[in-house]
Amino acid sequence: MIPADVSKTAARCRHYAMCKIDFLGTGLCPAGKAKRYVSYYPQGRMDLCHALAEGIVPVTPRLVDIASTCSLCGICDKQCHFVTGMRPLRVMQALNEFVSSYLSRGGQVASERPDPVLDSLRQIVGDEWATNDPAILLTYANDPFPLAGMKMPRCVVLPQTREQITATVRLANEHSIPLVVRGNGSSVFGIVFTDGIVIDTERMKGIRIDTDNWVAEVEPGVTSFELQKEASKHGLRVNAAEPAATVCGNIICTGMFSTWSNAYGVGADNFASMEFVDDGGRIFNLNERSAPNLFGFRHEVCTPPGICTRAWVRMHPTTDDEEGLLVPFSSFSEAASFAADLSRRRIGLAVGVLGGHYLSTFMSPSAELSERVRACLADTLGIEYMVFVVGDRHAREAIRKMVGTSIDERLMRSLMLGLPNLVRDEWTALLKGMEGAAPPYRTLLREEVRPVLELALSPSPETIALSVDADLREFYQELYSRPEMTNLRWLNTFRIVSSRMARHKHVFVIVLYVPLNKIGVIERLISELAGIADRHSISHDYGFLTPLDLGKRAVLEYDYYIDHTDPAEGGRIGAALVELDPMIEQLSADTKGVMWLKYIFSQGCSRKESFLYA
């Protein structure tokens, strides 16, 4: 039996695949690293444990192997806690115990279902890398998107070369079998499921850095984190998305966007070329004149142009004086105007307007602390939004001259390491006593007040580690002793703390391109998105806004949060979508520059000019 509370934890896996990258320097799950199918990674084991509790997967040869390859090393407990606050090690223990108890009671292990298509797939990729074992299939059959049901594939295949992908596509065509491709995790929008063949690109991890041409040639299994790590070894940077997302998948799906898009652009700005295998199994390169025109954009939901087998991603130079800076604001309009001004003046590389939810969640190692930090920022300090910038020393000097108050790397490190003290009642009561017309942060963050602030915060890895479970404190102390863990430039380059944004619930992301010269329109949009969520009792929050193309446009993220294990919440999202669609469509028809990312899905290779100014 799987205990009910363990099954509940297992069901809460968000499928963000952070357990498939070594983002904390703990090493990777050894079983996943060796066996490569998602079922062997902690994410897959969570799905399997829940499925066993629900009785929807039999004990199979692969399930026995999955259980036997987990050493209970505990790496996943640390990784998952950092991102979601969950402790999956109990799930891993329960899964192992279930299988060993089943076997010791003489339980039968289901045998493989014969399938000639599987035999052909094995001839293409080798016996190990194609299977129809239900314990593998199950972990490719669903994701946390509440409006998509489970769809069990017929086979899962892990090719290693472009030629193996081509042969798989041709085989699928020959037998009229549907086929989808996936990289890490899943789309979290229910669009990578099939009852046919799933191609998992996990074994295609090649990266070749070409410094002469400023491009990195990447295979489709490479994640943003892995590519950024390679680029940074050469003092370079790519405009990458969520750390566990695959680079090729992200470019095709939505086009790359991040706070770095202020300087590096979106869509086709981010790559020099891409190579695809089309539906007929033919290979084409986007820079060939005879290639399908994927740089254009159609205002409709499109299907993917094929399977990306390589991308030549643009890399950008960095300077050794880059640092982060935060500028606090009491209102969205002031913050957005300032961000637009920076973009117009070409000041800063990464620029973003962050709200209280993101700021507090990214800074805090626990959900409980995050709630208190958010209240402290808004109620005590008067900070509702911050403009976040990474820039060289000239950019930061210019910004300091433009604003009265800012938070530099050193102060931010103190704030992060002293967070449990920042939210202490007696300290916040003292700050509340700083009455006056100006928001309290203006006084508190003054240069001459810093020694007092430092004293009160007592910032250290030991202080921040007090906010997590006692048995994790030593690990968190060691983690936060590393300078990069509080370094704004590093954190924004690798984006590992932004994965915390869905710590309390699965996130349903709404991304729109918006006209940054019409801040009233953006505010109306935010208000409408909030209103729809409120009417359907969905928790929601502002995400971020990043200026694009010299402040003419911006990308806006607004987030709805749902418990994907609660069918009632799924129903509420469904009802909200019915209202979202016409509201955004109308705004888009009325206002140049409003474009829902929904229409850019599968058209991420488009030139930005074709959707920002259409």
- Interface positions with ligand SF4 (CB under 6 A): 29-31, 42, 45, 70-76, 89, 92
Chain-centroid distance, C-alpha 533: 22
CB of 60 to ligand SF4, least distance (A): 18
Three-state SS for 508? strand
Which residue bears the tokens 């939210």?
423
CB of 101 to ligand SF4, least distance (A): 18
Strand ranges inside 518-565, DSSP E = 539-548, 553-562
State the maximum Cα–Cα separation within the chain, in Å, rounded to a whole number.
78
C-alpha to C-alpha distances, 599 to 249, 250, 510, 512, nearest whole angstrom: 16, 15, 12, 10
Three-state SS for 554? strand
| Of the candidates 42, 53, 55, the residue with the CA atom closest to the CA atom of residue 87 | 42
CB of 407 to ligand SF4, least distance (A): 36
Q: In 10 A of CB 305, how many CB atoms?
A: 21
How buried is residue 237: exposed, middle or buried, by Cβ count under 10 Å (0-12/13-18/19+)? buried
How is residue 514 written in tokens? 């918006």
CB of 140 to ligand SF4, least distance (A): 18
Query: 27 or 571: whose CB is closer to ligand SF4?
Result: 27
CB of 88 to ligand SF4, least distance (A): 7
Query: 41 or 601: whose CB is closer to ligand SF4?
Result: 41
**If you compute the radius of gyration of the chain from its CA atoms, what whole number of angstroms results?**
24
Q: Around 478, how many Cα atoms within 13 Å sit in the side-chain half-sphere? A: 8
CB of 93 to ligand SF4, least distance (A): 8
Three-state SS for 261? helix
Query: 18 or 548: whose CB is closer to ligand SF4?
Result: 18
CB of 135 to ligand SF4, least distance (A): 14
Query: What angle separates helix 567-590 from helix 519-535, to the nearest 10 degrees?
Result: 150
CB of 554 to ligand SF4, least distance (A): 39
DSSP string, 12-63: T-----GGGS-TTSS---HHHHHH-SGGGSHHHHHHHHHHHHHT-S---HHH
Query: 80 or 351: whose CB is closer to ligand SF4?
Result: 80
Query: 71 or 586: whose CB is closer to ligand SF4?
Result: 71
Query: 476 or 560: whose CB is closer to ligand SF4?
Result: 476
Query: 89 or 496: whose CB is closer to ligand SF4?
Result: 89
Local structure of residue 110 (DSSP, 8 states): P
Query: 45 or 237: whose CB is closer to ligand SF4?
Result: 45
Query: 57 or 266: whose CB is closer to ligand SF4?
Result: 57
CB of 73 to ligand SF4, least distance (A): 4
CB of 186 to ligand SF4, least distance (A): 18
CB of 600 to ligand SF4, least distance (A): 35
Query: 91 or 263: whose CB is closer to ligand SF4?
Result: 91
| Of the candidates 90, 176, 169, 102, the residue with the CA atom closest to the CA atom of residue 135 | 102
Q: In 10 A of CB 285, how many CB atoms?
A: 14
Query: 49 or 256: whose CB is closer to ligand SF4?
Result: 49
Q: Around 500, how many Cα atoms within 13 Å sit in the side-chain half-sphere? A: 24
Chain-centroid distance, C-alpha 262: 19
d(C-alpha 307, C-alpha 596), whole Å: 24
Query: 71 or 287: whose CB is closer to ligand SF4?
Result: 71
CB of 31 to ligand SF4, least distance (A): 5
391-397 — which CB contacts under 8 Å span 24+ positions? 391/322, 391/323, 391/325, 391/347, 391/348, 391/349, 392/319, 392/321, 392/322, 393/321, 393/323, 395/347, 395/348, 395/349, 396/323, 396/325
